Structure 1
Amino acid sequence: MTLSDLNQNLFLYINSGNQLSNTLNQFGIFIAKDLLYITTIIFIIFWLWGNEVVKRYLMKAFLFTLIGGCISQLISYIFDLPRPFVLNLGFPLIEHTANGAFPSNHMFIFSSIAFSYLFSPFKKLGIALIFVAWLVGWSRIFVGVHFPMDILGGFLLAFIVNYFGLGLWNKYQDKIMHFILSIYHQIFNKLIQKGFIK
């Protein structure tokens, strides 16, 4: 069995089908589509009302995810590997553009956030977020928009970016935070002074 055969067979094993319960289908769709928006809102809330330590590690996660996201888009453009539904494989539960599937951007984003905290004093949070990332990875296969190799690619890219970028972050984090917070305080100075946000 080739790697391609293994990839497709594993996809067909995980992917949804008409025989599965509607509850499981809706759960898979929610994780695959909506969890990213909820996570973004949570991050914004923690940034606006969190202390400087919270802001520091939120910024770390954001920067690593932003940088890695650009790399992910470049890889996807270069390789332009098809999604399962383009090959008429599986049972898609959501609509998606037929752009390059490798690596999975959703998996990369959640994995990058997880590794950002795993490689920090908040290791327990990082471990919990790793489980969330793999739940997202499962959901993207389940709803029929990614192969398992796309998910693995997003996970490995997140690890590489966070592992090799950690030294640069440790070296320049104070300068980065001073720059970011100075802009933040200039823009939201009145709201901060009134105690609406921190």
Structure 2
Amino acid sequence: MGELEALNRTLFLLINAGDDTPHWMIQLAIGIAAGLIYLLPVLLLGFWLWGSPGERRLMLKATLITVIALLANQLIWAIWPHPRPFMMGLGHTWMLHAPDSSFPSDHMTVFGCIGLTLLLDGLSGWGVVILLTGLSVAWARVFLGVHFPLDMVGAMVVSFLVYAGFSPVWKRIGLPVTHLVQRCYRSLMAVPIRAGWLRG
């Protein structure tokens, strides 16, 4: 663990923005680090409201995998809390963040879960786009000093393990769960569905 931690810190210091970093680059990184994640619920919602039955089922699977992975992160934090770089006085910090455990990254976990699910379950183009976007978010959060590189690697490992573990379960429960959620959705959104604004 000592050598791995040393590598983690070395990689962090190579990526982390220094005092001579241009202001525009810091602002761009803040936008990437804090803003791009909000595109994911918009994407999931869009596929649910206007997508095919198969796409709806996939969006629901991606959402559940993400929730399970985020709960797994909470367990990891409780068992093995790891300080963020600024909590150790390491490097430079360019955005505000709560002084909580850094490993694994929640942001990268969300991108990893949704990206892997779409990539491996039929929407590979969207999956690649989401994973590449997640990579840019991972870079930005290390660049700004709120995460270590291995926080991002750990997030991808958690994402893949949860995907691999949940997929066999989803094969058995996916269809009835999707039908149940669709019935609730159609009841709540009956008016716009009848008007043709949303897919029924």
Could you state the TM-score of these two structures normalised by the residue count of structure 2? 0.93
Query: Separation in 2 of the partners of 1:103 and 1:154?
Result: 5
- 1:97 aligned to 2:98? yes
- What residue is the counterpart of 1:145 in the other structure? 146
Unaligned runs of 5+ in 2: none
Equivalent-residue separation in structure 1 for 2:165 and 2:190 (angstroms) = 35
The amino acid of 1:122's aligned partner reads L
Amino acid at match of 1:58: M
How many angstroms apart in 1 are the aligned matches of 2:116 and 2:38? 19
Partner of 1:107 in structure 2? 108
Q: Shift of residue 178 of structure 1?
A: 0.6
Which residue identity is paired with 2:166? G
Equivalent pairs: percent with the same residue?
Answer: 32
Q: Measure how far apart 1:136 and its partner are.
A: 1.5
SS of residue paired to 2:101: coil
Q: Distance in 2 between matches of 1:18 and 1:38?
A: 31
Letter in 2 for 1:158: S
Q: Flag structure 1 segments of 5+ consecutive residues without an equivalent.
A: none
Distance 1:164 1:172 in 2: 14
Superposed CA offset, 1:124-165 (max 9, x none) = 332332222222111111111111111111011001111221
Q: Residue 18 of structure 2 corresponds to which residue in structure 1?
A: 17
Measure the CA separation in 1 of the matches of 2:27 and 2:63: 29
For residues 118-197 of structure 1, what are the structure 2 equivalents within 5 Å?
118-197=119-198
TM-score of the superposition, structure 1-length normalised? 0.94
SS at match of 1:57: helix
Amino acid at match of 2:24: T
**How much has 1:94 moved relative to structure 2?**
0.8
Range that drifts further, 56-65 or 18-27: 18-27
Aligned Cα root-mean-square deviation (Å): 1.5
CA distance in 1, matches of 2:140, 2:171: 34
Aligned-partner SS, 1:2: helix
- Kindly indicate whether residue 65 of structure 2 is the aligned counterpart of residue 64 of structure 1: yes
Q: Which residue of 1 aligns with 2:49?
A: 48
SS at match of 2:145: coil
* Cα distance in structure 2, aligned partners of 1:19 and 1:54: 46
